[in-house]
Structure 1
Amino acid sequence: MSNNRKVSFTIAASALALSTACSGGGSTAEYEAMNESTPTGTATEMPTGTATAGHPSPTFDAADVKFTQKMLLHHQQAIEMAKLASHRASDPEVKQLAARIEKEQEQQSQTMKDLLSSWGQPTPTPGMAPDMPGSMSEEDMRKLAAAQGKDFDKLFVQQMIAHHRGAIEMARTEEADGANPQAKDLAKQIITTQEGELKELEQIRDRL
């Protein structure tokens, strides 16, 4: 092969390699090498498509962690409120709705614990997130625990309305800012469920 043909071949091969890299046709090894410096736990940690059915996606960001930790605490308070209704409420509809809230939020709480575990993030303890929208103060909880019968019914409905509105606000923020598919799906589920329950609570409030 002449020197001129060797030079031409080298130039063509280099152009082909450059074209392949620019078009995203690089190998998995090349992709991983380019992303070795990406911090663990960021939204670009791993392509979303790597999650398999039934397994949490490793892709998450700070908004996902904040939402999941705070919503878990938020749910724990709602569960505590709902448990009180079983022996302090007098209205059958209040009791039924409280039991439903307790069951669904316990299931969602387990989902949130699983997500945090899969991300290597800590499960929150009470007091970690005092600024949760719609959350009850210690005084609010004491008043609810001391109420009985119709007084409990009215206070429970009033507090749970505020609580649900706060949860919906938090979930909408996650929908807008989150990166994790499972966390965003959970936020959507919370919005749908609690908007429906909010209407029920407002109807009960209006007739009590």
Structure 2
Amino acid sequence: MKSTRTLIRRTVAVTVAGAAAFVLAACGGEGSTGHGGGHTSTSPSAEQSKQNAADVAFAQGMIPHHRQAVEMAQLAPERARSTELKQLAEQIQKAQDPEIKTLSGWLTSWGEEVPAEGASGHAGHGGTAGMMTGQEMTELENASGKAFDTAYMELMIKHHEGAVAMAKTEQAEGAYAPAKKMADAIVTSQSDEIERMNTMLGKD
């Protein structure tokens, strides 16, 4: 009788252990499923990779804006008197040339129109987001020495302020993460350059 009871107890113990193992396995399976479900959490980041109207406007507006800044910077080596200004102009060109290519690539991948070369460079868009008018560009091209330095910095400060405003709009309204990251960089770098040019002009 005693041995029968012992056998029953062992059988129950084995059954309980087996049930526990099954539950643990099931939990592990759920955890695995949950982890797999965790992969679906990539959908928010996938959503962030989708552009919206603000992203398109940012790219289409910043391309001609950058092109004009590069055009202005290219005048500095031969016309500027200040070595510091020449270095600043080179820095601006090196920063904005690659961004033009990146912005153009985004628009192409989105199936959106890339602004044509010179489309918004001068006439018709002067004053928009700090863009120079055709007359201002001509006057800058005809200047040299200290007069060029002063005109360049005053115009570029206004130009940068326009770019910062555009970038802040992208920060607030854009959805495409890389574009928002570029906007962050523009706000930081061009705000610093504005401060630097104001110092050079003695406006601090």
TM-score, length of structure 2 as denominator length = 0.72
Is there any run of 5+ residues in structure 1 with no aligned partner, and where?
1-26, 28-46
Structure 1 residues 134-177: Cα deviation after superposition (integer angstroms, max 9, x where no partner): 11000010000000111100000100000010100000011111
Give 1:182's aligned residue.
178
Which contiguous aligned blocks of 4+ residues in structure 1 show a shift greater than 3 angstroms?
126-129
The one-letter code matched in structure 2 to 1:78 is A
The one-letter code matched in structure 1 to 2:87 is Q
Q: In the alignment, does 2:79 pair up with 1:83?
A: no
Give 2:86's aligned residue.
95
Alignment partner for residue 102 of structure 2, among 86, 90, 111? 111
Q: In the alignment, does 2:103 pair up with 1:124?
A: no
Identity between Structure 1 and Structure 2 (%): 39
Q: Whole-Å Cα distance in 1 between the matches of residues 51 and 128 of structure 2?
A: 21
The alignment partner of 1:75 has SS state of helix
Structure having the higher Rg: 2
Q: Whole-Å Cα distance in 2 between the matches of residues 86 and 107 of structure 1?
A: 20
Structure 1 residues 57-88: Cα deviation after superposition (integer angstroms, max 9, x where no partner): 3x011111011110011000000000000110
TM-score, length of structure 1 as denominator length = 0.71
Q: Whole-Å Cα distance in 1 between the matches of residues 178 and 44 of structure 2?
A: 11
Q: Whole-Å Cα distance in 2 between the matches of residues 162 and 87 of structure 1?
A: 22
Q: In the alignment, does 2:153 pair up with 1:157?
A: yes
Give 1:68's aligned residue.
59
Q: Which moved more, 1:120-129 or 1:88-97?
A: 120-129
Greater percentage in helix = 2
Distance 1:48 1:77, change over 3 A: farther
Give 2:15's aligned residue.
none
**How many aligned residue pairs are there?**
158
Is there any run of 5+ residues in structure 2 with no aligned partner, and where?
1-36, 38-42
Distance 1:48 1:186, change over 3 A: farther
